[in-house]
Amino acid sequence: MSYPTIRYSLADVVKCNGKNGARTWIVVHDNIYDVTDYMQQHPGGPEIIDEYAGKDATSGFDEFRHSSDATKILKKYLIGELKDVSIN
């Protein structure tokens, strides 16, 4: 059985920047991840994730050339997809 994918706008993501008690969401390859509960476990420290909180972290994620294990870990925090905001 498949479940519908939850889609969020970039404005929704921006609100989840980890400040003032907000959750910490990041976008990687148009997928949205709630990494709030992972930040303290991140091998590079929470500051690295905090830099991308509420933003598209794709370039940073790709730059660091994360391992396949890191990609598997990230999948555990998947909460939805970025809405298509392009105008046709």
- Quick: pLDDT tens for 29-69: 999 999 999 999 998 899 999 999 999 999 999 988 888 99
Q: Is residue 14 part of a domain?
A: yes
Q: How many CA atoms lie within 13 A of 63 on its CB side?
A: 5
The total of structural domains in the chain comes to 1
Please report the pLDDT score of residue 86 as a whole number.
52
SS3 of 80, please? Answer: strand
* pTM given for the model: 0.89
- pLDDT at residue 28 greater than cutoff 60: yes
Q: Is residue 88 part of a domain?
A: no
Please report the pLDDT score of residue 2 as a whole number.
57
Q: Is residue 13 part of a domain?
A: yes
Q: Domain residues for 65?
A: 7-82
Q: Compute the distance between CA of residue 87 and CA of residue 35 in angstroms, rounded to an integer.
A: 30
Q: Mean pLDDT for the chain?
A: 90
Q: Is residue 2 part of a domain?
A: no
CATH of the domain at 59: 3.10.120.10
Q: Is residue 87 part of a domain?
A: no
Please report the pLDDT score of residue 87 as a whole number.
42
